[in-house]
A and B are shown apart, each in its own frame.
Chain A
Amino acid sequence: MITIKDLVKSFRTEEVETLALNKVNLKVEAGEFVAIMGPSGCGKSTLLNIIGMLDNPTEGSYNFASNEVAGLRENQRTQLRKGNLGFVFQSFNLIDELTVFENVELPLIYLKMEKAERREKVMQVLERMKIAHREKHFPHQLSGGQQQRVAIARAVVTKPKLILADEPTGNLDSKNGLQVMNLLTELNQEGTTIVMVTHSEHDSHFAHRVVNLFDGQIVTESQNRAMGAEV
């Protein structure tokens, strides 16, 4: 699904040029669950942003589902991202002015789906995330765990091929964090590819494969025996 070759990302300021990613090569197969780990500043979020088509690489090639992404303009990347990718962020990133239902509905609106179909899909995913009873609540009325479940619901409502999770449990207590990881594992078991950036050794054990980054380069890759869903 993802083939990255000799990917370079540098950030240039007036005085210095920082190399965030240096000749990164990575392959992620459909249905895989990959964790990206490494110390702060090693380039893992930069890599996730490029995989998520939020940013363009400086050099190299990024192929997503047989589409070359490197060099696409923002609007082209938005089109490719729409419906194919779901995002889960550490800080949830829900829109405060929208209810739970409306937040989850938003990606479907951008896909120009009919209202009745939207309602059906949103309610299905809210039921699955066990948050349907809060559909009319606003984000600030929910706990952190509930907000992250809404964020996951929003990420999966379009049934994307790939979910990108950036420290998905970083703002949650261990109980809620576990629930979130279980949800991601379930989604992966149903066929969704997941790429997750994490600092947490514990969370990384849910992945099939762990990629370790250091100074913008992949230094090690290791296969896990997936823990599977825990209760």
Chain B
Amino acid sequence: MFRNHIKIAWRSLNKQPFFTFLNIFGLTIGMAGGLLISLYIYDELSYDKMFPDAEQIYRLNADIKFGGAENKVAVVPAPMADVLVNDFPQVEATTRFRTIGSTLLKKSGTIRNVKLTGTTYADPSFLDFFGIDLLLGDKATVLKDPNMVVLTKSAAEKFFSIDEAVGQTLIFDSGDTFTVSAVIDDLPRNSLLSDYTLFIAMAGYADAKIPNWGTHNYNTFVKLSPLSESADFEEGLPYIVDTYVLTWAQTVFPGMTKEQFDASGNYIRYSTIPLTDIHLHSHRKGEMNANNSIQNIYILSFIALFLIVLASVNFMNLSTAGSLKRAKEVGIRKTLGSNRSTLIGQFLTESGLISFASLLAALGLTLLLMPYFNDLSNKQLSIPFLEPYFWLTIIVATVILGLLSGSYPAFFLSRFAPIKVLSGSGSSAVGGGKLRNGLVVFQFAISVFLIVATLVVYGQLQFIQQKDLGYKKEQVLILNDVYALGAKSNLLKKK
């Protein structure tokens, strides 16, 4: 029976090539759009999950109100990490970063500076903490001494061949010299460390050693023991304020009591956020990386679903609109002994075939569009052809899409009474179907909405491009890192 369904489906589709093309084309566009967006969403949801023990890692946050200003920051004071390890039994390890943006540096013996973006002071523990292996270097000594640095592979390649990188000297623009103690692989693109290429030993950063609870500059991470609850840990954080921060504050404001501090309306509150939530749920000052928002993910998920639903509705409309052509066949089959479920099976086979053809076309289209999409999204996405889960997911999704798209036409077509369609009552035999009218109205409304939205965006772009900025853009040159010229920067200005 199934073979017969396939044969009939194939011939029916072949018989109406334009109709088949329209159906496949519509579904292909929807599926390709849905697939691209899904890959994007999957990538966004995968942030920082590659680190071992990622589920046990949390970052410390601080909400600070002082002198009227209120700040929510992703950084805490330098001494916090040691206190956490010493005073909280559930803390297994901590590590800190003190980001400093970009640096200009050169290989010893050369004169040309190279700019490295993503520079940070880091505790030596960060490698073990995040399970990062060394490509070259000795883990026992790495970043242990001041003036030691770790480079990522691509950063190291800007100065040396990788094999000879360890032990080499780099001269910073400030004149300080550093020794390369290790080289690590480039950090995962979908991690909060992705932008970082140069890690300088925290041991050489004097500020990190001062017990100053008043400045918040260190991205600090804790790894909790597997059995501990982050909520329990977080409950203990006010203890730090009471015990350390206020004590320090009293050295700056002698005689100030906790009651006075509280009464002033000022506060410092520490909290945690799971490592794997940072990318989509954290928007604080002092983030290590530009984060995205979970709202965007919800919106994109809605758009992906919307695209697929729209394609599916298009399929239903086309199928039911062409139903007159199939009515006779339904009548004959019923007369010859086919029951409704067999007919439903036949029409679902057809929609399944269209869905799978669309899936193949959508995969091709996705491959074709991927470079442009990557440019647009600033990602390096690819279709994970070798992942069994990918195939499982898209095949299940395609079957569901085929069933959903085909279900209405299948139930609609199989409902035809043979007596009416065979006696040639025409369209009145087939019936109108309020649902079909509803679907057409839905499609039309969406089309109008999209056209209006496109016109609005077009208008905005025109405005941006044509707005008189008061200067000629073509005549303006931006010179980066002029500070490297030091006193000579004024000379450049005069020129």
Give the B-binding residues of A (Cβ under 8 A): 45, 49, 52, 54-55, 74-75, 78-79, 81-83, 87, 89, 91, 93-98, 102, 106-107, 109-111, 154
CB-nearest residue of chain A relative to B331? A93
A-B CB contact pairs (8 Å), 6 listed: A93-B332, A97-B8, A98-B11, A102-B7, A109-B4, A110-B342
Having A78-B339, A93-B332, one finds 10 other A-B pairs with CB under 8 Å, namely A49-B423, A52-B335, A54-B419, A78-B334, A91-B424, A93-B335, A93-B422, A95-B333, A97-B329, A98-B8
Report whether A82 and B331 are in contact in the complex, using a CB–CB cutoff of 8 Å: no
Report whether B336 and A106 are in contact in the complex, using a CB–CB cutoff of 8 Å: yes
Is B71's beta carbon under 8 Å from chain A?
A: no
CB-nearest residue of chain A relative to B4? A109
Q: Quick one: given A97-B12, A98-B8, are A110 and B338 in contact (CB under 8 Å)?
A: yes
Q: How far is the CA of A81 from the CA of B336 in the complex (A)?
A: 8
Give the residue of B12, B335, B340, B418 whose beta carbon is less than 8 angstroms from that of A75.
B340
B352 nearest CB across to chain A (Å): 17
Is B1's beta carbon under 8 Å from chain A?
A: yes
Kindly name the residue among A87, A91, A96, A97 whose own CB sees the greatest number of chain B CB atoms within 10 A.
A97
CB-nearest residue of chain A relative to B424? A91
Question: What chain B residues lie within 8 Å of A82 (beta carbons)?
Answer: 337
B63 nearest CB across to chain A (Å): 67
Report whether A110 and B337 are in contact in the complex, using a CB–CB cutoff of 8 Å: yes
Report whether A96 and B15 are in contact in the complex, using a CB–CB cutoff of 8 Å: yes
Q: How far is the CA of A111 from the CA of B1 in the complex (A)?
A: 11
Report whether B337 and A87 are in contact in the complex, using a CB–CB cutoff of 8 Å: no
Q: How far is the CA of A143 from the CA of B337 in the complex (A)?
A: 26
Q: How far is the CA of A83 from the CA of B337 in the complex (A)?
A: 8
Question: What chain B residues lie within 8 Å of A81 (beta carbons)?
Answer: 335, 337
Report whether B419 and A111 are in contact in the complex, using a CB–CB cutoff of 8 Å: no
Report whether A93 and B328 are in contact in the complex, using a CB–CB cutoff of 8 Å: yes
CB-nearest residue of chain A relative to B8? A97
Report whether A110 and B336 are in contact in the complex, using a CB–CB cutoff of 8 Å: yes
B8 nearest CB across to chain A (Å): 6
Q: How far is the CA of A77 from the CA of B429 in the complex (A)?
A: 20
Q: How far is the CA of A94 from the CA of B333 in the complex (A)?
A: 10
In the complex, the number of residue pairs spanning A and B with C-beta atoms less than 8 Å apart equals: 60
Give the residue of B1, B337, B340 whose beta carbon is less than 8 angstroms from that of A107.
B337
Q: How far is the CA of A75 from the CA of B343 in the complex (A)?
A: 12
Question: What chain B residues lie within 8 Å of A102 (beta carbons)?
Answer: 7
Q: Quick one: given A75-B340, A98-B8, A111-B337, are A45 and B423 in contact (CB under 8 Å)?
A: yes
Q: How far is the CA of A96 from the CA of B11 in the complex (A)?
A: 10
Give the residue of A55, A78, A97, A154 whose beta carbon is less than 8 angstroms from that of B338.
A78
Q: How far is the CA of A111 from the CA of B342 in the complex (A)?
A: 12
Report whether B15 and A74 are in contact in the complex, using a CB–CB cutoff of 8 Å: no
Q: How far is the CA of A154 from the CA of B328 in the complex (A)?
A: 16
Q: How far is the CA of A54 from the CA of B422 in the complex (A)?
A: 10
A196 nearest CB across to chain B (Å): 16
B393 nearest CB across to chain A (Å): 34
Give the residue of B332, B334, B342 whose beta carbon is less than 8 angstroms from that of A95.
B332
Question: What chain B residues lie within 8 Å of A97 (beta carbons)?
Answer: 8, 11-12, 15, 329
A83 nearest CB across to chain B (Å): 7
A88 nearest CB across to chain B (Å): 11
Q: Quick one: given A97-B12, A106-B333, are A89 and B422 in contact (CB under 8 Å)?
A: yes
Question: What chain A residues lie within 8 Å of B12 (beta carbons)?
Answer: 97
CB-nearest residue of chain B relative to A55? B419
Kindly name the residue among A55, A82, A93 whose own CB sees the greatest number of chain B CB atoms within 10 A.
A93
Q: How far is the CA of A75 from the CA of B8 in the complex (A)?
A: 23
Q: How far is the CA of A81 from the CA of B418 in the complex (A)?
A: 13
Give the residue of B4, B11, B339, B418 whose beta carbon is less than 8 angstroms from that of A54.
B418
Q: How far is the CA of A97 from the CA of B333 in the complex (A)?
A: 13
Q: How far is the CA of A19 from the CA of B330 in the complex (A)?
A: 27
B397-433 with Cβ < 8 A to chain A: 417-419, 422-424
Q: How far is the CA of A81 from the CA of B419 in the complex (A)?
A: 14
Report whether B340 and A154 are in contact in the complex, using a CB–CB cutoff of 8 Å: no
B317-364 with Cβ < 8 A to chain A: 328-329, 331-340, 342
Question: What chain A residues lie within 8 Å of B336 (beta carbons)?
Answer: 87, 106-107, 110, 154
Kindly name the residue among B337, B338, B340, B424 whose own CB sees the greatest number of chain A CB atoms within 10 A.
B337
